[in-house]
Amino acid sequence: MFTGLSAFPLTPLVDDEVDERAFVRLIERLATAGVDSITALGSTGSYAYLTPEERSRVARLAVDHAAGTPVVIGIGALRTSQVLANAANVEKAGAAGLLLAPMTYQPLTEDDVFALFRTVTAHSSLPVIVYDNPGTTHFIFSPELYGRIAELPGIASIKIPGVPAEPEAARTRVGEIRAVIPDHVTIGVSGDARAAAGLAAGCDAWYSVIGGTLPVLALGITRAAREGRFSDAIAESERLAPLWNLFSEFGGSIRVVAAIAEHLALATTSSLPLPLQGLTEAQRHRVVEVIDELGLDR
Amino acid sequence: MFTGLSAFPLTPLVDDEVDERAFVRLIERLATAGVDSITALGSTGSYAYLTPEERSRVARLAVDHAAGTPVVIGIGALRTSQVLANAANVEKAGAAGLLLAPMTYQPLTEDDVFALFRTVTAHSSLPVIVYDNPGTTHFIFSPELYGRIAELPGIASIKIPGVPAEPEAARTRVGEIRAVIPDHVTIGVSGDARAAAGLAAGCDAWYSVIGGTLPVLALGITRAAREGRFSDAIAESERLAPLWNLFSEFGGSIRVVAAIAEHLALATTSSLPLPLQGLTEAQRHRVVEVIDELGLDR
């Protein structure tokens, strides 16, 4: 289950409440496209901004509308007891797995993070994806810590940040991680711009932001790579460079993907939780130009 | 009110619940010492880890036990609507002011942060301290943004990170901020190790971590500086260098101050919210040595 394309949908808001219709439509879109799994309430799904009650409800909606596609749910929170409460709610909702990032306010030590994962895996029967997202958590995993955590029973996968662009460096990076974790733990790449490079370098999965809104596009890259057609995967990723450039130019993927979803009428305008403002009009215009130029309006 | 020593107490936990007896004792200790104000639920007060209900309760306890000392309460949260709800609760509790940091999960733009402060000041009648704490929020304020926000009606003070150690550089830094904000907005320094330097460089207030647990010590430095005896303030701060060194060596002030409070029986062991683990036994031993050496056990 922790291989192939895992699509990370937005959790669109409308007037500061979860837009359940829009969310259900996104889930159905992913199931119809045939993604390998759906990870709801990832960073792209704004988990950090939602109340425990909203998160429970979203988890249930995701499972109920995924038509059998395995659903993983993000359970991260600043306090361990809140993480455990989220995990229990997700288990009740019938999800297939948990995604856990070490959210920080005060900086965490390696021992803090190890104990968090040990506590969660001891309390939940669901498999866990270790979510390494330094851009939002500001926590840096060492390879040694990957190894310690991956040995815990219940750890199924590690979601790593983007790999180096250069193929040899990417293979070295993935190989270093592979060397310190058990065989049954998969490695999934994030950072959409480097996904094809990551799959070519030996990653088992793509934990994909763009796949949550444009699943057919992301499936094309994933299937090419999984069938060994790495040059096709990389060529398609390179064709999308104007999109990846917007991610970096506009300060991260979530604002751009929200603008895409809003343009495609998959969410209403201002679907992000404040204080996150959507893109400006001028930025949205650029996004639409890229969508049209690359033929992404499907 | 936004001058002199503002003491930032811990919010000790016991078995993952707020230790109300310990918290009330800390508040009474600060009031008795005669601090100029108490800021509860700052970073040191673990605001980011507590539920809205816990925060409401803590705000009320602080006001009820401060014996007339002005009480400021931290209202930061990741989502604007949660910040507004906290502000309303704090106003009901009878506090004298609000402390607001731009907490982040997804990185925020300057416009996001400006709009957050505009929304909060438009909704609350209480004066607001702008809380610039890049070590926890990872948001960097520019002087221009200080200026834009400080113009908003309701902004009373800016809590800045530690100033440069070198006196001339510190004066330049404080002068640059002073030049872009209205006269009625005070500047308060944080980063305890640089507090005496900040007060000597023209800061109006010290927003103090150590003052929340050792108020007499912090009052000594603050009063010397406020009376123009800057060399006395700086000499006392330099005497405390072994303490400040522990703050940097042990990854920030909160774990050290919690260990001090626990050693002085002001909180029970493991008073921080998990996943934040307290200091190790060896680290605590070092803390106790410094407490004894500096005569801080009062």
* Inter-chain residue contact B113 with A79, CB threshold 8 Å: no
ipTM of the complex: 0.97
Q: Give dist(CA A42, CA B3) in Å, integer.
A: 42
Span A5-58, pLDDT tens digits? 999 999 999 999 999 999 999 999 999 999 999 999 999 999 999 999 999 999
Q: Say yes or no for a CB contact (<8 Å) between B115 and A274.
A: yes
C-beta separation of A35 from A60 below 8 A: no
What's the pLDDT at A131?
98
- The closest of B64, B103, B66 to B82, measured between CA atoms, is B103
Q: Which residues contact A289 (CB under 8 A, 6 or more apart)?
A: none
- pLDDT of residue B297 exceeding 90: no
- CATH homologous superfamily, domain B4-229: Aldolase class I (3.20.20.70)
Q: CATH assignment of A4-227, given 2.60.120.330, 3.30.420.40, 3.20.20.70, 3.30.429.10? A: 3.20.20.70
> pLDDT band for position B252 (50/70/90)?
confident
- Cβ contact, residue pair B275, A107, below 8 Å: no
A250-262 per-position pLDDT tens digit: 988 999 999 999 9
Please list every residue in chain A whose beta carbon sits closer than 8 Å to the beta carbon of residue B136: 105-107
The string of DSSP letters for A223-240 reads HHHHTT-HHHHHHHHHHT
Q: What is the pLDDT of residue B251?
A: 85
List the single residue in A106, A119, A251 with the smallest CB-CB distance to B276: A106
Task: Pick from A105, A136, A249 the residue to mutate for testing the B interface (most B CBs within 10 Å).
Answer: A105
Which of chain A's residues have a Cβ under 8 Å away from the Cβ of B112? 275-277
> Residue ranges of the domains in chain A?
4-227
Helical pair B215-226 and B20-33, crossing angle rounded to 10 deg:
30
Answer whether residue B1 shows pLDDT above 90: no
Cβ pair A254:B106 closer than 8 A: yes
Q: How far is A159 from chain B (nearest CA, A)?
A: 18
Using the predicted structure, report yes or no on whether residue B192 has a pLDDT greater than 90.
Answer: yes
The whole-angstrom separation of Cα A276 and Cα A49 is: 10
Total residue length of chain A: 298
pLDDT of B289 reads 97
Euclidean distance between CA atoms A191 and A207, whole angstroms: 8
**How do residues A135-162 score in pLDDT, each as one tens digit?**
999 999 999 999 999 999 999 999 999 9
pLDDT given at position A208: 98
Partner-chain contact A136 B252, CB within 8 Å: no
Dist CA A170 CA A268 (whole Å): 38
Q: Which of B206, B198, B273, B265 has its CA nearest to residue B230?
A: B198
B11 to chain A, closest Cα gap in Å: 14
Which residues in A lie closer than 8 A to residue B85 (C-beta atoms)?
none
What pLDDT does residue B293 have? 96
pLDDT at B174 exceeding the cut of 70: yes
Is the distance from CB of B118 to CB of B154 less than 8 angstroms? Answer: no
Are the Cβ atoms of B49 and A78 closer than 8 angstroms?
A: yes
Alpha helix locations (H) across B97-214? Answer: 110-123, 134-137, 143-150, 167-180, 195-200
B277 to A111: CB separation less than 8 angstroms, yes or no: yes
Chain B's closest residue to A277, CA to CA, is B112
For an interface test with A, which of B50, B105, B247 has the most A Cβ atoms less than 10 Å from its Cβ? B105
Q: Which residues in chain B are closer than 8 Å to A43, comparing Cβ atoms?
A: 105-106
Q: How confident is the model at residue B298 (pLDDT cuts 50, 70, 90)?
A: low
Per-residue pLDDT tens for A44-81?
999 999 999 999 999 999 999 999 999 999 999 999 99
Is residue A298 pLDDT above 70, yes or no? Answer: no
- pLDDT confidence band for A1 (50 / 70 / 90): confident
Percentage of chain B modeled with pLDDT above 70: 100
Of the candidates B81, B119, B273, the beta carbon closest to that of A79 is on B273
- Per-residue pLDDT, averaged over B267-291, amounts to 97
Q: Is the pLDDT of residue A107 over 70?
A: yes
pLDDT of residue A252: 86
Q: Shortest CB distance from A116 goes to which of B43, B78, B275?
A: B275
The DSSP bridge pattern shows strands A17-18 and A13-14 to be antiparallel
What residues form DSSP beta bridges with A97? A72
Mean pLDDT within B178-192: 98
A→B interface, C-beta within 8 Å: 16, 43, 48-50, 78-81, 102-103, 105-109, 111-113, 115-116, 119, 135-136, 138, 251-252, 254, 273-277
- Residue of A159, A163, A161, A155 lying closest to A184 (CA atoms): A155
